[in-house]
Amino acid sequence: MTERHEPGVYRGQGLVDVLDRILDKGLVIAGDIRINLANVELLTVRVRLLVCSIDKAEQIGMNWWRTDPHFARPEIDAAGLHALNERLDRLSRRLESIELRQLQQ
Amino acid sequence: MSELLYVYGFVPPAADEAAIGVTGIGGAGIELVDSDEGPQAVVSRLDSTEYGAEVIDARLNDLAWVGTQAAAHERVVAWFVDRGDILPAPLFTLYSSEDALRRVLDAKRSRLEGELSRLHALREWDLKVACDRATLARNAGRYVAAIDEIDREIESAAAGKRFLLARKRDDVLRKELAATAHRLASQALDELKPFAREVVRLPLPAEDMPVVLSAALLVDAQQEPSLIAHVEAVRAKWLDAGLTIDFSGPWAPYRFIAPDTLGQT
C-alpha cells in the first residue's frame, strides 16, 4: 500500500457530516448480529437535520427566509400587488410635481 | 468474554495486515479476514458485552457515544482510503464469528470484486452549499433581472420614490430569494461536474435550511488536484451571491456503491 494523498487535508468536516455518511451508506451486507434498523433510521433523520442546519445556523440563522420579519410578511395577492403599484405610481407623480414646483420657484 | 467482529469495510486481496497503522473502535487492533484469497474484510474484535446488538440499540440515542464510535470507524476507513481502495461498511456492521463473516465473503465474492474493480482509484468528495441571505439580497441585482431593473430605477430616482422602490425591491426579493439561492447553488455544482465521474444530489431534509444544496462527487484520484483548484475558483466566484461552499474529502465512496440487487445477506 502506498500513500497517495496527504491524509486529512480536506477532511475538516464536523462529526455530524461523518455520521450522515456512515450511518446508512456504504456496502450494506448486514452482519448476522442485527441492530434495530428503526432506531438507526430515527438517528439518521436526526443527523440529517443537524447536517443541514448546525454548521451554518449560528452564522445565518434557521428558517431564514421564513422567520426573518423583513421577508416574512404575509403574501400579497395579485390584486394587492396591483393596488400597491397604483399607490406607488400616485406617490411618484405627486413627488415629481412637488420637485417640479420647487425647481420653478 | 465473548467476542464479535466489527467490520469497517472490504479491501482487495493480499493487503498487508502488518503495515496497518491505525486503531479502531474502543482502541481495538485492526485485522484482515479473507476467504479463499478473495477480498478481505477489515475488522476489529470487540467485547460483545460492550458492543452487542442490545447494547448498541440502547445507546443509539446517545449522540456523543455514537459519535465516538463513528469517529473511530471513519478513522479506520480513511486510513485505507489514503493508501488504496476500500468499500466501506455502514456503522455497526457486526458478525458473531469469523465463520459467519467468511460465509458472507464467499456468498458475496463476485459483488465485492465487481465493486472494488468499478470503484478502483475513485473517491468521494462532498459538496455543501449554504447561502447568506443578507449578502444575496444586497447583490441580488446581479442575479435577478427584476431586481436589477428596480436597482437601476433607484439609482436615478428622487428620495421619496427611492424609498418606495426599495419597498418594491423587498417584495420581489421575498418571492425570489429562495429560488435564486437554489438556482445559483446548482450552477456552482454544474461548474464542478466536469471533474467528476458521477454526481449525486443528496436530499435536503427541509426547504428552509441554511444549506441549499448537498451533493457527492465521485472523482478519479488523479483529477483531485485539478478539482481542488477549481473549487477555489468557484468559491470565489459565488462569494458575492452569499454562497459559502464546504468541500471535503477524499472519502471512501460511501454514496456510490451500487445497491445489492440480490438482497442483503
What is the complex's ipTM, to 2 decimals?
0.75
At B86, the pLDDT band (50, 70, 90 cuts) reads very high
What percent of chain B has a predicted confidence (pLDDT) above 70?
98
| DSSP of B139-171 | TGGGT-HHHHHHHHHHHHS-HHHHHHHHHHHHH
Residues 6+ apart with CB under 8 A from B122: B197, B218, B219, B220, B221, B253, B256
| Domain assignment of residue A12, given as a range | 1-73
Mean pLDDT score, B34-60: 93
A18/A58 same-domain check: yes
Taking CA atoms, B226 is separated from B194, B219, B243, in Å, by 11, 11, 21
Highest mean pLDDT among A5-19, B110-124, B207-221: B110-124
A26 interfacial to chain B (CB closer than 8 Å): yes
A57/A80 same-domain check: no
Cα–Cα distance, A18 to B176 (Å, whole number):
33
Mutate to test the interface with B, among A11, A17, A22 (most CBs of B within 10 A): A22
A32/A82 same-domain check: no
Say if residues B254 and A25 touch (Cβ distance below 8 Å).
yes
A42/A90 same-domain check: no
B16, B208, B254: residue with CB nearest A26: B254
Tens-digit pLDDT profile for residues B89-134:
999 999 999 999 999 999 999 999 999 999 999 999 999 999 998 9
Mean pLDDT score, B26-35: 95
A20/A67 same-domain check: yes
Q: What cell numbers appear for A96 in the block?
A: 415629481
A69/A79 same-domain check: no
* pLDDT of amino acid A3: 41
Dihedrals phi, psi of B93, to nearest 5 degrees: -95, 115
A68 interfacial to chain B (CB closer than 8 Å): yes
A59/A13 same-domain check: yes
B124-136+178-254 carries CATH number 3.40.50.300: no
Task: List chain B domain ranges.
Answer: 3-120, 124-136+178-254
Domain count, chain A: 2
For residue A4, give the nearest of B178, B46, B220 by alpha carbon: B220
* pLDDT of amino acid A105: 67
- Residues 69-88 in A contacting B (C-alpha not used; CB under 8 Å): 70-73, 76, 81, 84-85, 88
A59/A21 same-domain check: yes
Dihedrals phi, psi of A12, to nearest 5 degrees: -80, 30
A5/A53 same-domain check: yes
